[in-house]
Structure 1
Amino acid sequence: QNLPGMNSEAGRQKYRPAWTLLNETLERASRLKSAPKTGQTRADTAAILIIGNEVVSGQIKDANGYFLMTELRKLGIDTLEVTMIRDDLDKIAAAVRRLSDTHKMVFVSGGI
């Protein structure tokens, strides 16, 4: 079976790069099987990652997370997770990987 976003070469399936897809929503279609079990599909979920030592320590108040949640709600997109982390490149990369595995959209604010 030849699925969208795949080529079949001599019985072997080979994924094409995302930019070659006619429908960009198919880019992560294979990850839908890891959707949350709460009845929500990964296709309609978002996560927000707030980055900054000053936010985590309470020196400044995060306004971007609230703004993003409000705007996403207007678009019918549920924000299921908001995470705050320090300015640590390894932790930022790990958080982005984790969030992108379970949410269709990941919004990032702040950072180094």
Structure 2
Amino acid sequence: MTTAQYLKLIGERNPCGRYKAAGLEPKECSVCLSVLEDGDEIRRLKCEHTFHKGCVDKWLEQDRATCPICRRLVVPEPISQRRQIQPHRRRGELYGGSDDELILLLTSLHVTGVLQNPTTAA
């Protein structure tokens, strides 16, 4: 499945619209963290989470077949598998270690100065 076909399918299942402020507390796009303003082009996913269309489309193009907030699949699983899209992995699956190991690694990098001054790190 090409990217264009994939985005067309997303558009059919999760149509776009224009944002209309309807409350006292403004909503924000959880991808770019900007406040949604009247007239912004938005995409509301089936899970009811709303984003700027451009932001969530870019997220979905990056081989993330899930909602950025709740990780619910945006397209049926067989389609996501054909496109070789994997749902977002948990942090431990990315580096293969525990949270304690990650904390130890980050602490040691900070102590050695790698994180203190990134411009001097080799």
Q: Is the TM value for this pair above 0.5?
A: no
Higher relative contact order (CA 8 A, sep 6+): 1
Normalising by structure 2, we get a TM-score of 0.20
Q: Could you say which structure has the higher strand fraction?
A: 1
